[in-house]
Every structure is written in C-alpha cells, then in structure tokens.
Amino acid sequence: MTIEYEQLPKNDANYVPLSPVSFLHRTADIYPESESLIYNDIRFTWAQTRARCVKVASSLAQRGLGKNDTVSVFAHNTPEMYEAHFAVPMAGAVLNTINTRLDADTVAYIIDHAESKLFIVDRGLWPVLEQALSIATIEPEVILIDDEYADPSEKHTVPMVSSYDDLIEQGDPNYQWSLPEDEWQALSLNYTSGTTGRPKGVVYHHRGSYLMTMGTIASWNVPHMPRYLYSVPMFHCNGWGHAWTMAAKAATVVCMRAFEPRLFFQLLDKHEITHFGGAPIILNMLANAPSDQQRTFDRTIHAMTAGAPPPAAVLQSMNAFGFEVMHVYGLTESYGHILQAAPQLTWQDESLEAQAELKSRQGVRFAMTEAVDVINTDTEKAVPHDGETMGEIVIKGNTLMKGYLKNSVETDKAFQNGWFMSGDLAVIHPDGYIQVRDRAKDIIISGGENISSVEVENVLYKHPAVGEAAVVAMPDEKWGEVPCAFVELKPEEAASEQELIDFCAENMARFKKPKKVVFGALPKTATGKIQKTVLRAQTK
C-alpha cells in the first residue's frame, strides 16, 4: 500500500460540487449570442437568459431566501418556468414546481408541507391558488407571471402582488451566485401525483441533476445546439431534466403554454425542431389528429416517450411523420428516464411489427444509471432472463431522490437492501431488455396465476376500434380475481363486448381474457394517468 495516495485531500480547485447550474454559465460564456428560448414572439439569447436568471436569483436572495428554502412555481411551460430551473438554485433555494391540474386542496397541502416561502403563479392559475391560500396555514409571498399570450379567459384579476418582471427589474445584474457547498444539497421538490392518498414530496439533489444531464446527452446522443420543443410539462420531474440538458448543449428551446396537435406540428415546422419529449398520450393525440393538422418531415425528429409503451400503430404513425421514437422508463423518484429501448443494429433486419415490439420494451440502462435489475421480492434473487418470470424493478444510481420529504416511513420502504424499489413489475428478456408488466398494485391474481393488466390492455389496443383501455381486477367467487376491461372506443368506431373478449382470447392466453367489458370515458388524474382505483371501485 502506497499510503501517500490517501494524503492528497480535496481542495477548492480540484473538487467542485456538481450542479446543473454550471451548464448555463458555460453556455452563456461560450455562446452568448445563440438563441436560448423562443415563446411566440419572445426570443432570448443565452446571455440574456443568464442575465435574467441572475437577476431573479438576486431578488430571491434579497428576500432572504437561500439554502433549504422552498420556492413554489405553479405555471405552464413559459420562459419564466424555464428560468426558474436556474434562478431558484442559483440563490441556493429549492425549486418546487406544481402540477397545473391540481385542485386547491392539494395545492394547499403542498404549500404547507413544503413550507413554501415564495409562490410564483401564472395569472391563469390564480383562482386555484386563491382558494388554496385560504386553506393553507403557510402564507408565502405571491409573485405573478403575467403571460401576454394567455387566453383572455385566463386573465383573472389578481390583488396587488409583485410580478415576475419586478423580480427581474429589481435584481442585481452583478449578484454573486454560487454553487451549493455540497452537491447533495436539495435542488428541487417534486410531488408525485399519487392515485391515492396525499402526494409525496420527492427531493432531488444537485449531483443527481448534473449526472442526469450528462447521462441523457451520452445515451440519447444529444447533438450540439439541438432545437427542442418543450412539450413535456416542466412541473413533471422538472420536465425530465431537459431544462438543464438543453442548456448544457446550447439548445434553442421552444416553449409551449398548452399542448395542442395543430400548434405542435406548426412549431415543429416553423422552428425546425430536432428533439422533443412527450407522454404516450401526446403521441396518441398526434397520431389521431385530423390529417389536415398533421405534417410530415424529411428530416429525423428525435422524440423521447415514457410511460405506457406506444402501440405499434402509433409508432407507425410516428415513423410516417419522420419521428424517431425512443421509448424510456423512469419514475419521479429517478429524475425521469433511467432505462431506454436502445436499438440494436440487428433490429433493422426484423419486420416493422417485430421492431415495434422490440422498441416498446423499457430496455436497458442509461449511461448514468449504475444498475437495474428485476428481483423476486420474496427471495431477493434476480429473475431469470426468460421474458416470462415477473419480479420488481430495482434501481441503483446517482439519479435517485434523496428521499421523500418528511416521510421517513415511505423513504425507508422505497430504499431496501441497497436498491430503490420501483413498485413496477417486469420481466427480463433473453437479450437483457426489461419489459414492464404492471404496477405491483395493478396485477390481477386469477386462480393463483398472475395476469398483467398491461398485457391485456396491449392486446385491446391492437383492436382497431379501441381508443383507450384499462384493465383492473374484479372480484370473482371462483377465481378470486378476474380481469375487467374499461374501454373508450374511437369516434365513429364500434365493437361489442363479446367481440373484444373474443379478440383477447384469440391474441393471448385464454385465461387472461377479460370477463367483462365496460364502455365509456376513463377517469384520469391531473397528469392524465388513468385512475385504476376509481375503476376498481366500480367493479365491486
């Protein structure tokens, strides 16, 4: 042992806390005149974006805000929302973005739980906040985002408060921002939507978001100066961390206040977009949009999608538009995507349908993800790579939350034996690709056999008349549980209950076919997740 290797301690030059804020400063230094943000007629350069963020950070600091102080933002994907991802941590504070579809009661809960010191709100969301403030115990200062591009119906009257523009005007352009002392310091706070109970506050650290950026660049092959359309809500896992990733690559980021297929296609075209992210519902809406709204592109547009795998039909539409879709997997707790359906060269030789199947799997780990496995939670052993044996996805890596704020019970449940327990059930295929079968709580146990609700849903989606489908467990005297399907048909399409049951029986193991089909609109959470708890209640 050459013990002197140990006698070289860290110093301020060779050990700098990792923080995604560093990427903004580098890009503003090197490409000051490049366009950073476009929002309708508003255009900023990277020098301007940095200057605005520094001034906002200064105004936060002037108010005494700093380390471990929560700044909540309740807003759409406007430039202010983007800037908050840098301005708030530059002041040392914690960014708490809030889902714009939440109700006043939940917003009040978040304000109190997070101990919000400052609350930045889009004028359009004021009525919800006004009601929330009447419920909450904590009284944060309110700052108004007054978006000129909001719909007239959103321009609510708000009592005298400071505006976001005031933060900029009153900010010191020479404010001495600093990196956190410790890269483990809290960077942001994201409440999970939680289909039952109160939302949990997921805490991100600076190190994690720095590495999320680097790993996303490496594994999504993000080029220099991409043109990115921000269609993923930034309140969702900090927009998958892409606010920081795009700054690191000197991107031009195009903001979108609200998603709408016609506008989306227009923006792709007008701003020569090269990259975007979107939940499957976004891809669905694009695939099903009226053809006079759709556009096709000669160039490749890289799309990242997470959540339920896009059905083959949707993937085919995407190909026709010119989109190269990368299917990814992640959770709020993992800063977003940590697995990707990274394509293999050999896939090119497969049929389009087989390719869609291969690409619909959640895949393999991103560069910053240290380990992912699927384990039998009883034996704690990894499942065989047989594509059949189900287990729980477990994750290890530096893009995992610090924990749930003020909730050591749930934090301890989430971290077990050196793993983060995802709560998702999956199989591993012989090629090592992971495929999610179900949320642990959504699995249907019928006569002692596991039936994945997602598997049944995927078969239903292949039926040409099915628009949306959800399958839940229904109590059954003989089998314990049996699958019950809830289906929303496509407009102007028709199918009978028996027809769909037969279709399932023909396309999967017969014992997995739903015993009942209920037609109608599906209940959803604020983030667009189908509320299976509501459906389960209907089966009882």
Shortest reach from residue 271's CB to a copy of itself, in Å: 17
Shortest reach from residue 228's CB to a copy of itself, in Å: 15
Site residues for a copy of itself per CB under 8 A: 1-8, 10-16, 18, 22-23, 26, 29-31, 34, 67-70, 94, 114-115, 184-186, 203, 208, 211, 214-215, 217-218, 221, 223-224, 248-249, 342, 344-345, 364-365, 367, 369-370, 395-398, 400-403, 405-406, 408, 411, 415, 418-420, 432
Shortest reach from residue 328's CB to a copy of itself, in Å: 14
Distance between CA atoms of 436 and 243, rounded to whole angstroms? 27
Shortest reach from residue 244's CB to a copy of itself, in Å: 12
Shortest reach from residue 279's CB to a copy of itself, in Å: 25
Distances, alpha carbon 528 to alpha carbons 124, 210, 424, 437, in Å: 20, 28, 19, 20
Three-point CA angle 100, 106, 110, nearest 5°? 90
Shortest reach from residue 457's CB to a copy of itself, in Å: 28
Indicate the residue among 100 and 340 with the shorter CB distance to a copy of itself: 340
Whole-number CA gyration radius for the chain? 24
Shortest reach from residue 30's CB to a copy of itself, in Å: 5
Indicate the residue among 18 and 374 with the shorter CB distance to a copy of itself: 18
Indicate the residue among 34 and 293 with the shorter CB distance to a copy of itself: 34
Indicate the residue among 10 and 510 with the shorter CB distance to a copy of itself: 10
Shortest reach from residue 396's CB to a copy of itself, in Å: 5
Three-point CA angle 262, 264, 265, nearest 5°? 70
Which of 228, 188, 232, 234 is CA-nearest to residue 210? 188
Number of other CB atoms surrounding residue 390 within 10 Å: 19
Q: Are strands 444-446 and 434-439 parallel, antiparallel or unpaired?
A: unpaired
DSSP string, 241-304: THHHHHHHTT-EEEEBSS--HHHHHHHHHHTT--EEE--HHHHHHHHTS-TTT----SS-EEEE
Distance between CA atoms of 307 and 202, rounded to whole angstroms? 19
Shortest reach from residue 67's CB to a copy of itself, in Å: 7
3-class secondary-structure state, position 97: strand
Shortest reach from residue 275's CB to a copy of itself, in Å: 14
Sign of CA dihedral 233, 267, 254, 150: negative
Indicate the residue among 217 and 314 with the shorter CB distance to a copy of itself: 217
Alpha carbons within 13 angstroms on the beta-carbon side of residue 444 total: 28
Indicate the residue among 212 and 308 with the shorter CB distance to a copy of itself: 212
Maximum pairwise Cα distance, the chain = 77
Indicate the residue among 40 and 68 with the shorter CB distance to a copy of itself: 68
Indicate the residue among 43 and 406 with the shorter CB distance to a copy of itself: 406
Alpha carbons within 13 angstroms on the beta-carbon side of residue 501 total: 13
Indicate the residue among 22 and 435 with the shorter CB distance to a copy of itself: 22
Token output for 449: 């056999």
Report the helix count and the strand count for the chain, using DSSP H and E: 17, 28
Shortest reach from residue 84's CB to a copy of itself, in Å: 18
Indicate the residue among 224 and 540 with the shorter CB distance to a copy of itself: 224
Distance between CA atoms of 439 and 166, rounded to whole angstroms? 45
Three-point CA angle 193, 38, 247, nearest 5°? 70
Indicate the residue among 31 and 297 with the shorter CB distance to a copy of itself: 31
